[in-house]
């Protein structure tokens, strides 16, 4: 099972159980619920679980990408257009 979307899409307790009993062979998780995953959580110690740091953009690319994003949203705001990638707290992102 691979989850790179939202941690809440997966029942973490059920995932731990399935990994422990072999119902599924493994999990690759870029997101978890809860996030951040607490120290000592079972997923950290399961040999068939891989947890990645949830930061897929290489550091050298981040500033230009963020600058482009901000420039796009400023132009859209000035033009009275909807902003891109708006935060939606009710949806969890």
Tell me how far apart the alpha carbons of residues 51 and 2 are, in angstroms, rounded to a whole number. 10
Q: Tell me which of 35, 69, 76, 81 is the catalytic residue.
A: 35
pLDDT (tens digit, 9 = 90+) per residue, 36-59? 899 999 999 999 999 988 776 677
pLDDT (tens digit, 9 = 90+) per residue, 64-79? 888 998 999 999 999 9
Catalytic, 35? Answer yes
Predicted model pTM = 0.63
Let me know whether 66 and 45 are in one domain: no
Let me know whether 44 and 21 are in one domain: yes
Let me know whether 52 and 37 are in one domain: yes
* Domains identified in the chain, total number: 2
Let me know whether 41 and 69 are in one domain: no
The pLDDT assigned to 92 comes to 62
Domain span holding position 76: 57-93
Higher-confidence residue: 42 or 87? 42
Catalytic, 54? Answer yes
Burial of residue 15 (CB within 10 Å: 0-12, 13-18, 19+) is buried
């Amino acid at each position: 099972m691979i989850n790179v979307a939202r941690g809440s899409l997966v029942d973490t307790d059920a995932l731990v159980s399935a990994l422990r009993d072999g119902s599924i062979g493994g999990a690759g998780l870029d997101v978890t619920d809860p996030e951040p995953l607490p120290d000592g959580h079972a997923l950290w110690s399961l040999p068939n679980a891989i947890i990645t740091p949830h930061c897929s953009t290489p550091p050298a690319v981040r500033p230009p990408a963020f600058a482009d994003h901000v420039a796009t949203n400023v132009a859209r705001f000035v033009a009275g257009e909807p902003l891109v990638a708006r935060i939606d707290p009710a949806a969890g992102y």
